[in-house]
Amino acid sequence: MRYFNKRKNTKFISPVKAISRKQARIIVETSYLAAATSLLWIALYYLPIGGAVFRLALPLPLALLQIRKGFKAGFEGLILLVLLTIALMGPVRGPLVLFPYGLLAFWLGRSWLKGLSWWISWGIGTLIGLFGFLVRVSVLSILVGENLWVIITRAGYTVLDRLIDLLNLPIVPDLIYVQLISVFLVAFQELIYVLTLHVLAFWIFSRLKVSMPEPPQLLYGLISLDPL
């Protein structure tokens, strides 16, 4: 009888640790924000309208995740995003979300979490955007069987030709200068894009009670800091 009571009062200890509430929230938030980013990428890739809005929204969910939950959650969200896009779009088009949007989201979230200056996050973010754009153009050129860089080169030639006509210079645009102008146009586009991401994040995250570095004094005149 005594042996039976001992067996009855013995507590069973599970070998698996129970997930804490904090860990469960991190898992759920990581899953939701990675899924939201993958849906934005699919919409950008396939829908004929709303491309500008989707491009501006793409890096923000994972950047927000890293600021709220830390580096580990941001990295896991990036990996989950790639796995989701591969499952939905295939092994070639899926990973293209990294170039530049995934890498840019990871970098911006990391720099804002550390409180780095806008000049640092903006400058390196522009380089990431330029690198990602070139990678994406190269892969898409292989997929469609046509050199898409030619389209950008034509735009660079048009800009250089108009500049020569405006200045009334008796020269013919050389190919190397056309290529340099083309790269400059892409870099300038990424410069404006990354700055716009900073402004949007600063405006949105402050309303979500998420802190990020203050803009530099030189940019205060370009950013409306007054709440609605």
Secondary structure letter of residue 14 according to DSSP: -
179/166 Cα distance (integer angstroms): 20
Read off the pLDDT of residues 92-115 as tens digits, 9 standing for 90 and up: 888 999 999 999 999 999 999 999
7 in a structural domain: no
Q: What pLDDT was estimated at residue 2?
A: 47
The CATH number of the domain holding residue 24 is 1.10.1760
Residue 51 belongs to a domain? yes
At 6 the pLDDT is 46
pLDDT band at 28 (very low <50, low <70, confident <90, very high): very high
- Does residue 90 lie within any of the structural domains? yes
| Start-to-end Cα distance in the chain | 74
Residue bearing the bigger pLDDT, 118 or 14: 118
Q: Which pLDDT score, from 0 to 100, does residue 103 have?
A: 95
In a domain, 3, yes or no: no
In a domain, 54, yes or no: yes
Write the CA distances from 150 to 50, 105, 154, 171, 226, integer angstroms: 25, 29, 6, 22, 44
Range of the domain at 147: 19-222
The fraction of the chain above a pLDDT of 70, given in percent, is: 88
**DSSP 8-state code for residue 49:** S
Identify whether 121 is part of a domain.
Answer: yes
Q: What is the pTM of this model?
A: 0.85
pLDDT at 87 over 90: yes
DSSP notation for 131-161: HHHHHHHHHHHHHHTS-THHHHHHHHHHHHH
Write down the mean pLDDT value for the chain: 85
Q: What is the mean pLDDT of residues 48-74?
A: 92
Q: Is residue 228 part of a domain?
A: no
pLDDT tens, position by position, 168-213: 777 777 778 888 888 998 999 999 999 999 999 998 998 888 888 8
Instruction: For residue 140, give both structure tokens.
Output: 């898409």
Size of the chain, expressed as the number of residues it contains: 228
Distance CA 61, CA 117 (A): 21
Total of domains in the chain: 1
How confident is residue 227, by pLDDT bands cut at 50, 70 and 90? very low
Cα separation, 74 vs 79, in Å, equals 9
Residue 155 lies in a domain: yes
Q: Are 109 and 49 within 8 A, CB to CB?
A: no
Maximum alpha-carbon separation in the chain: 110
